[in-house]
Amino acid sequence: MGRTAWCWVIVALTALLVLAACATGTGAVARGGDFQFVSPGGQTKIFYNPPQSRGTIPELAGEDLLEPGRQIRLSSYAGKVVVLNIWGSWCGPCRAEMPGLQRVYDQTKGSGTQFVGIDVRDEVRSAPQDLVRDLGITYPSIYDPPGRSLLALAGYPRSVVPSTIVLDRQHRVAAVFLTALRDTDLLPVVHRIATEATTPAGVPS
């Protein structure tokens, strides 16, 4: 291969490395448009800023845990900050964090925040039903043993339970927590996202 050809190969490889660094510098990808999750390289708390860099998730829906036949749809909460919590009654850390999630919901729902649980890997429906009733959880949950509703979150690690996703008022992914949460960790994040300046859909922020 001649010197000119080698020069072009080096230029091409350099360009690829630069693009890769730009795509993964924050540990995940959300550059506007549709949300695409990429392995965070060990990070368990990921924030997407500025808001215009966030990716939007498509419709996410599933059957209500407590009311079989009733559908819970993300689109029903237009204009609200939505906190999605992935949990299972079989999961000790999930059970431990749920009272704290309820406290954050109680403190933020007046400012336009909605919590939605996504119950996974519970083949017997009565177990998660009993849990949410015993703990006094008032926000709804989708009953989704195979985790199909999470396909709306492209690339998201469905095996990580519990995990929590905070969507801003335009339903763009603003934060991801791949770990159990305390209310003192989640509350300031939800407050901050709930008070962000908003712009009409389709208008750059």
The pTM of this model reads: 0.81
Residue type, 191: H
- pLDDT of 158 strictly over 90: no
Structure-token pair, residue 121: 């890997």
- pLDDT of 21 strictly over 60: no
The percent of residues above 70 in pLDDT, for the chain, comes to 80
Contact 62, 141 (CB under 8 A): no
**Architecture, CATH, for domain 27-194:** 3-Layer(aba) Sandwich (3.40)
pLDDT at 120: 98
pLDDT at 25: 33
pLDDT at 187: 98
Q: Spell out the domain ranges in the chain.
A: 27-194
What pLDDT band is residue 3 in, cutting at 50, 70 and 90? very low
15, 66, 174, 201 from 56: Cα distances, Å:
28, 28, 9, 11
- Mean residue pLDDT across the chain: 84
Residue type, 15: A
57, 64, 141, 165, 168 from 174: Cα distances, Å:
11, 25, 21, 8, 6
Q: Return the beta strands (E) in 28-171 as ranges.
A: 45-47, 61-63, 71-73, 81-87, 113-119, 141-143, 163-167
- pLDDT of 39 strictly over 80: no
